[in-house]
Structure 1
Amino acid sequence: MVQIICFNAMKENNYIMRSDTPLKAIACFDAVMQTGSAVLAAQQLFVTPGAVGQQIRKLEEWLGLSLFVRNVRKLQPTEEALRYWEQVRPALQQLDEANASVQGRESSQVRLSLPPAFANTWFARRMPALTCSHPGLKFHLNASSEPVDFHTHTYDLAVRYFDGKDDNLDVQLLLSDEVRVYCSPGYRESLQLAVVEDMARATLLFTTSHSNWSRWLAQVGMSFDGMTSNLRFDQSEMAIDACCRGQGLVLTSPWLVEDNLERGNLIQLFPNALQTGKNYYLVCSRERPLGAAAQQFRDWMLGAARSISGDRGG
């Protein structure tokens, strides 16, 4: 009995992966689970959607079960797929980290998630200064407003627009925010917009991320009565672009229109600003310490935000 126990323990401590384990298929499965689509997974892996589908079928045959319900536009994971992914994700992350460590990528790479509009405006405006001051840093940037699960080790840091309350995250204020009304110079002239009451002649552009028109109007003693508001956008960038093209008034963050104000594409129509209760925060995991590169990046971001806020008297 003792010999059997020792033998089993030896086998456990000297585990060897099965030679037929389909690692490539598992990587494709992980990409599909992350994106929800064979097409998007193929783009991520730089292969064809057909190749992804072939690898998924190979994995299903190897496991002996179905991982997805095939719909027209999307692959719906089964309960077995969700359980399997939960178990293989940590292993895939450990493998990636081991590869990064051996290749020397880990020491200089920063994985960052930013809201799309913020990434393409505030951050893009300052990125040349960042790359100039930290030429050795390597960035993996993702434009998304979705919640970040730092337990998967997919990202080191993220910028999120919210009230700053999350006990599961290390949260640092990056930029205090408010919303103001902007339009193109031509639009103001064509409608002769001089005082807030003139807004009754204008079109209000709505955005999902900054849907604060009712509060702003109430603050200046007005309401939606008689106003046109038939243009609605899911992305702030689309609303701001429409505003630049003379399609109406946009109510948005001044941090998202810096370049357009500087170029004269937009003007602030009225001095009134609304505090929304949301700001831009730099967040990371409470449990996992940042690497040296991520710390450098965080310090730079906070310094850049402080310098700009200081210039504005904030």
Structure 2
Amino acid sequence: MTSYPPLKSLPAFEAALRRNSFALAASELNVTPGAVGQQIRKLEEWLGVELFIRSVRQVTPTQDGLAYAARIAPALQQISDASAHLRRRQDHSVHFAMPPSFAAKWFSPRMARFLIKHPTTALHVGSTEEKPNFDQDGLDIAVRYFDGNDDSLEAVLLYRGQAAVYCAPSYRDELGLETPTDLVRATLINDTKHHWWADWLATFADMPPEQSRQIKHIDIDQTAMVIEAAIHHQGVVIANPLLTEEDVMEGKLIHLFPDQVMTVPLGYYLVHPKKRELRSHVRLFRDWLLDEARDLVTSQKH
């Protein structure tokens, strides 16, 4: 008898154990449930033990099955990691994710610069408000808006979080908004994911929270939509200057009180797993993105 078990059976065994179902394991492996069952029977015959107790709707691992899985799991993971590492070395693609507002307001206008500079790199871009899952989503690198603290990640600050007040020029003129206290006459557009209005008004208008809550407001749960609402004369928005720079340059928005900008305990960080070596094309993209953001960091220091 060969010293190796039937190797084709091991992925079927691992999937069936994890899913407690031959059918679900078959769906994951793109084979039939019968094929999974056959592979596991081969493994059981080779080992001389029963690995699962079969029932009508599910399968339950035996104690031998659990013990065997615990012993082979590190080896299977090593095979997976080594194979993925070797494949990634030949991969010219970059899989990148970021918050939707960052994608729409800052990254999209700049993306073509990278593709022109590095035409052999295939860039796959996604957006999410959730914490990026590098293994499950196949990501190489991401931008995350958070406080920068995560022991599993390398995190480089791209832009420190700030809260500044904007509105359409015509809205400012119509309401005569000249000082922070004038905002009692405005409609405050509140980003429910980044709600800084109470702190900003307390800091720059000496307004207690109970008073600021009395000001008319609109709650919106998407940052890009919040900014669009301000552009369309719906009220005053508090936003990160990074996300409004293009609209200010085009005259769609005006920064109402440039001297009243509040630093917040969050920021846009470029992140990737600490223990993962970045492929050459990912390093190119990382370096390009840091270079694009360098002027932003410099401008925040002045």
- TM-score for the superposition, normalised by structure 1: 0.70
Letter in 2 for 1:249: V
Question: What's the counterpart of residue 193 of structure 2?
Answer: 209
Output aligned runs, 1:214-253, within 5 Å: 214-220=198-204, 221-223=206-208, 224=212, 226-229=214-217, 231-253=218-240
Q: Which of 108, 111, 122 is the matching residue for 1:138?
A: 122
Give the C-alpha shift of residue 15 in structure 1: 1.9
Output aligned runs, 1:31-70, within 5 Å: 65=57
* 2:112 match: secondary structure: helix
Question: What's the counterpart of residue 164 of structure 2?
Answer: 180
Q: Is the 8 A contact 2:171 2:235 kept in 1?
A: yes
Question: What's the counterpart of residue 168 of structure 1?
Answer: 152
Question: What's the counterpart of residue 37 of structure 1?
Answer: none
Output aligned runs, 1:106-117, within 5 Å: 106=91, 108-117=92-101
Counting aligned pairs with the same residue, the percent is 31
Give the C-alpha shift of residue 226 in structure 1: 3.7
Deviations 1:256-285 (A, max 9, x none): 112211111111111211111111111111
1:142–1:201 Cα change, 3 Å: same
The structure with more radius of gyration: 2
Deviations 1:146-184 (A, max 9, x none): 112334471111111111111111111111221100001
Partners of 2:225 and 2:58 in 1: CA distance = 40
Runs of at least 5 residues in structure 1 that lack an aligned partner in the other structure? 1-6, 31-54, 68-86
Deviations 1:227-269 (A, max 9, x none): 111x111110111111110111110101111221111111111
* 2:106 match: secondary structure: helix
Partners of 1:308 and 1:98 in 2: CA distance = 34
Q: Which of 240, 263, 270 is the matching residue for 1:275?
A: 263
- TM-score for the superposition, normalised by structure 2: 0.73
Letter in 2 for 1:304: E
1:130–1:11 Cα change, 3 Å: same
Q: Is the 8 A contact 1:171 1:284 kept in 2?
A: yes
* 2:131 match: secondary structure: coil
1:265–1:172 Cα change, 3 Å: same
Letter in 2 for 1:15: L
Letter in 1 for 2:278: L
Deviations 1:169-219 (A, max 9, x none): 111111122110000111112211111121111011111232111100110
Question: What's the counterpart of residue 308 of structure 1?
Answer: 296
Q: Is the 8 A contact 2:159 2:296 kept in 1?
A: no
Output aligned runs, 1:10-159, within 5 Å: 10-12=3-5, 15-16=7-8, 29=28, 65=57, 97=84, 104=90, 106=91, 108-152=92-136, 154-159=138-143
What's the RMSD between the two structures over aligned residues?
3.6
Deviations 1:101-122 (A, max 9, x none): 69x5x1x111111011001111
Partners of 1:116 and 1:90 in 2: CA distance = 33
Letter in 1 for 2:216: T
Question: What's the counterpart of residue 296 of structure 1?
Answer: 284
Question: What's the counterpart of residue 64 of structure 2?
Answer: none
Q: Is the 8 A contact 1:174 1:302 kept in 2?
A: yes
* 1:257 match: secondary structure: helix
Runs of at least 5 residues in structure 2 that lack an aligned partner in the other structure? 16-23, 38-55, 60-72
Partners of 2:26 and 2:301 in 1: CA distance = 50
Q: Is the 8 A contact 2:177 2:183 kept in 1?
A: yes
Q: Which of 262, 272, 287 is the matching residue for 2:275?
A: 287
Q: What number of residue pairs does the alignment pair up?
A: 257
Partners of 1:121 and 1:180 in 2: CA distance = 16
Question: What's the counterpart of residue 69 of structure 2?
Answer: none
1:266–1:59 Cα change, 3 Å: farther
1:189–1:26 Cα change, 3 Å: farther
Partners of 1:189 and 1:269 in 2: CA distance = 11
* 2:114 match: secondary structure: helix
* 2:198 match: secondary structure: helix
Partners of 1:183 and 1:60 in 2: CA distance = 63
